[in-house]
Structure 1
Amino acid sequence: MHTPTSPSELRINNDGENRAKWHKMLAELAEAGWAVETDGASTTIAQTVSLIPDPAGAEPSGFAVLEALGATEIERLLVAPLPDDVAAENILIGFNWTFVEAGPYCGIARSPSRGTEGARSIRPPEGLHGKSLKELGKFLFSTDPLSRSLGLAAVNAYWNRRDMRYPEETAKGGFAALQPPGDGVIIIGGFRGATKRLPQARIVEREPKPGDIPAEEAGPAIHGAKTLIITAQTLMNASLAPLLPLAGPQTRKVLLGPSAPLCPGLLAHVEEVAATVVLDPPAIERFIRESGTMIMLDGITESRWLAR
């Protein structure tokens, strides 16, 4: 993540209705892992961007803050090549997964966890049907997890195509490429099944179980990891950007999960991407409508990997 060499200042209008947006924006940034400090008169984020209340200022926007922090490079990279002449004809936001189908493109992304603000509407007055894949991809330009889930599904529809092959693809990756017992492996995300094969791997959790590393104490473990497995849900909840700089210079970073885009440009930020390609869109749609969770099923999805 690029960090400005001198503090930036954003003047934000937080009068009236904007006040609630202000506090929601700050909560989203804090939830994503940014250090947020406020004294009532001004707010400082990551000690580089000051948010100054100003009646003439802009409407609160968490993504504008991330841009000022230099932390939106990945989102811009993922959305830039999406076509603006292919309209979406099938959009489904389910309990567990979000699904976008537009012409030959079909992608999925994890929906926000239940118990968050996921059960609400992000539908614009004109609806979502017929919007271009690029318009949907721009929903990633937000700090709202539900909006980002929709944007990420559109992004994955473009990058994770069954007929697309990349020079950076490898024959094996993800957990299958790691050697037992998993010494030096740190896992961010709930991949608990992996510890059966990799018993020495440690899991970082916000709600830790015995043997886990509490998220607030994970900095040294992440920095010293040999391999850092990062759930692709960090792209959905905007926590990837503040997480990547915590890794040490020798750490092999792997972005893993069905929400991961098979975008070669991501290899400038991580060493490996372990992702999922949709093979059978109607079957995936039924699976999501029926509240399915474990979407990695033979015949409807396929694992693929990029590495450098």
Structure 2
Amino acid sequence: MADGGPGGGGAVSPVSGKALRGGAARPVRLGPRSVVALGLVSAIGLAFFGWPLLADERSEVVAHAQDAPWLFALLLPLLVGVVVATVADTGMGAKAVAMLGVLAAVGAAMRPLGAGTAGLEPMFFLMVLAGRVLGPGFGFVLGSVTMFASALLTGGVGPWMPFQMLAMGWFAMGAGLLPGSERIRGRAEALLLAAYGAVAAFGYGTVMNLQGWTIIPGMASSISFQPGDPLLDNLVRFFAYVTATSLGWDLGRAILTVALTLTVGPAVLRVLRRATRRASFDAAVRFEAAEPGGRPDGTA
């Protein structure tokens, strides 16, 4: 701001019809509180996923291994809700909420199209592209909300749902953290996102397997969880379990994500970026001094 006239009256005038825009519009800017909340909930989430591997055989936690998932299932939505509220409080306006609703609805509708068929889940590629364009904060919120909505739509509500919400939030957030958002475009960007989507598809399946593996009874000793055993021994059994049970599903998810990202991904990226520019999430108002003798609204 600048003083309006010789007398220092302080009259200012907004630039009419113009707004300054940043190079990359992001509907949610991560402030310090959002970063702390995301980091804290991610750390707690990792502990929820991997606690049995570090628990002593005689501990009360292992003794209540069948009850623990239900306790975590009650606690995780509260933690995810804290993150969503914190992220929204730091700048998610009405336009961002509207875009969140549209993308979450599309993602939730896409999930049943391939669910139950060799792990083919087309919603994953949309989470990658949306997280890339709209940023890590929006990506985390979108992934969590989409998984919640799809669980309601498909009847997949259970103690595993909060873990799915957290894992999908990580999946979409990671796409927003990929480097080169301003420089990498075209085929190179599609290849980058396809590679990330493939790795993240396997990562999602792996962490969700870890959530269920420790509480499944009656498996062969070579792949079953053994409370109190050394961490390395249990990890070897876990990866044998993943290979024997879900590798095919994860491979199908990865292949479909790569195929969709490379074929329709560039067009979807353009649509998302155009919608983000038109929404003017980063529009800012600039003030300039009024002419001497002019009225406060800048007119003569």
| TM-score interval for Structure 1 and Structure 2 normalised by the shorter chain | under 0.3
- TM-score scaled by length of structure 1: 0.26
Higher helix share: 2
Higher strand share: 1
* Bigger relative CO (Cα 8 Å, ≥ 6 apart): 2
- TM-score scaled by length of structure 2: 0.27
